[in-house]
Amino acid sequence: MGVAIEVTGLTKSFGSQKIWNDVTLTLPAGEISVMLGPSGTGKSVFLKTLVGLLKPDAGSIVINGDDLVTLKEHDLYEVRKLFGVLFQDGALFGSMNLYDNVAFPLREHTKKSESEVRRIVLEKMDLVGLSGAEDKLPGEISGGMRKRAGLARALVLDPEILLIDEPDSGLDPVRTSYINQLFIDLNAQIDATFLIVTHDINSTRTVPDNIGLLYHKHLAMFGPREMLLSSEEPVVRQFLNAQTIGPIGMSEEKDADELAAESGQELPPLPPIPLQLGTSDGRPRRAAKPAGEWCRAHGVTPPPGSFLSGNAGVPGVSQSVEVSTALGAAT
Ligand SMILES: Nc1ncnc2c1ncn2[C@@H]1O[C@H](COP(=O)(O)OP(=O)(O)OP(=O)(O)O)[C@@H](O)[C@H]1O
């Protein structure tokens, strides 16, 4: 059914290099969360720390009442079975065909018979749209197919938590849309808790229930999608709207002179908040809420044009029919 992950005061360094400090957030059970951040801010390190591959210097990661940071190796092994991880390149074994790659965790971690393994592998390959490609080698298929094969492999142990590192890297926009839709449909089907690391602002604006932003060695903000998409906080605003004006510079932070030079410049208005993407078969998303609900509940006026249909989430794309009956109350 998906479990919540409660992260408190998490801190990680490599030698004298501090990666992030005092990260506190709860990934709500069964919801999709996205983690953003400039390159090198430690998003992948965060994923690896959550799954127990890296040890934090301080803090706790609590799942079902167990703190992963202090668990003994044997108990950690058990908790890790709750996780499915999709690494950037799918992390497939190049010499194995897709069937054997997807079957690998079942053969490694369970005592299932080969006929049971076959049933599960074929089911998961079908789920990700790879039926018929079982005999292909990873080197013979496209990057998008490799990611879907990696996803099938991440699903075979029926994870309660799915960690996904840059699913869109190396994919064209159409394939990125397909894989986003797959995540939304899967989330509605299997109810797992999803954490997706991405640089794709368009996906971030339309796919998740929650968004987080790592910046300058800390968690700048984490919360519901509408909260971040309506935020005037300079770092959040700049990053989520892919702007050059703001505190984030080419390498990291801008210095005082650069910021002073920008001080008179007018910021472009916040773009409209798009509707959240739905499932492809119309079944409700697990955490579905009426559009604009967060804004209304918090007295926030969303940017003009928010929550209109006819907008696939691409800023600037024309919008037409109003679908949110509640919108009037929100604006
Ligand atoms: N095992 C390790 N040992 C030492 N340093 C590491 C290790 N893993 C990551 N780092 C360092 O931690 C920092 C954060 O790396 P990470 O890959 O998590 O960034 P990221 O935010 O995912 O970046 P990108 O968006 O470019 O993928 C980098 O400076 C990296 O060199």
To test the ligand 1 pocket, which listed residue (44, 87, 89, 239) has its Cβ within 8 A of the most ligand atoms? Answer: 44
Does 38 contact ligand 1 (Cβ within 6 A)? no
Token pair listed for 95? 């010499």
Nearest CA to ligand 1 atom 2: 14
Give the integer Cα–Cα distance in Å for 18 and 11.
Answer: 8
Q: Which atom of ligand 1 is nearest to the CA of 48?
A: 18
With CA atoms as reference, report the closest residue to 31 among 298, 300, 225, 169: 225
- Look at residue 244 and tell me whether its pLDDT is greater than 50: yes
pLDDT, one tens digit per residue, over 116-140 is 999 999 999 988 888 999 999 999 9
Neighbour count for residue 157 (Cβ, 10 Å): 19
With CA atoms as reference, report the closest residue to 27 among 161, 157, 154: 161
Q: Where are the beta strands (DSSP E) in 136-215?
A: 161-165, 193-197, 210-215
DSSP-based helix, strand, coil % in the chain, nearest 5: 35, 20, 45
Average confidence (pLDDT) over 161-170: 89
pLDDT, one tens digit per residue, over 283-317 is 889 888 899 999 999 999 999 999 987 554 444 33
Domain residue ranges in the chain: 5-226
Q: Which of residues 269 and 207 earns the better pLDDT score?
A: 207
Give residue 199's identity as a one-letter amino acid code.
Answer: H
At the top level of CATH, the class of 5-226 is alpha beta
41 C-alpha to center of ligand 1: Å?
7
The predicted structure's pLDDT at residue 245:
73
Q: Where are the beta strands (DSSP E) in the chain?
A: 5-14, 17-27, 32-36, 58-63, 66-67, 83-86, 161-165, 193-197, 210-215, 218-224
Does 164 contact ligand 1 (Cβ within 6 A)? no
Answer whether 101's CB lies under 8 Å from 93's CB: yes
212 C-alpha to center of ligand 1: Å?
17
State the ipTM, two decimals. Answer: 0.97
With CA atoms as reference, report the closest residue to 80 among 152, 157, 6, 11: 157
Kindly give the pairing relationship between strand 210-215 and strand 58-63. unpaired
Rounded to the nearest integer, the mean pLDDT of the chain is 86
Sign of CA dihedral 240, 244, 247, 248: positive
- Confidence band (pLDDT; 50, 70, 90) for 275? very high
Does 47 contact ligand 1 (Cβ within 6 A)? no
Does 120 contact ligand 1 (Cβ within 6 A)? no
39 C-alpha to center of ligand 1: Å?
8
Helix (H, G, I), strand (E, B) or coil at 26: strand
Does 37 contact ligand 1 (Cβ within 6 A)? yes
- Look at residue 256 and tell me whether its pLDDT is greater than 70: no
107 C-alpha to center of ligand 1: Å?
31
Sign of CA dihedral 3, 4, 7, 13: positive
Does 53 contact ligand 1 (Cβ within 6 A)? no
The rounded percent of the chain whose pLDDT value lies above 90 is: 56
Q: Residue 8: CA atoms inside 13 Å, Cβ hemisphere, count?
A: 8
- Look at residue 4 and tell me whether its pLDDT is greater than 60: yes
- Confidence band (pLDDT; 50, 70, 90) for 1? low
33 C-alpha to center of ligand 1: Å?
20
Does 43 contact ligand 1 (Cβ within 6 A)? yes
Nearest CA to ligand 1 atom 1: 14
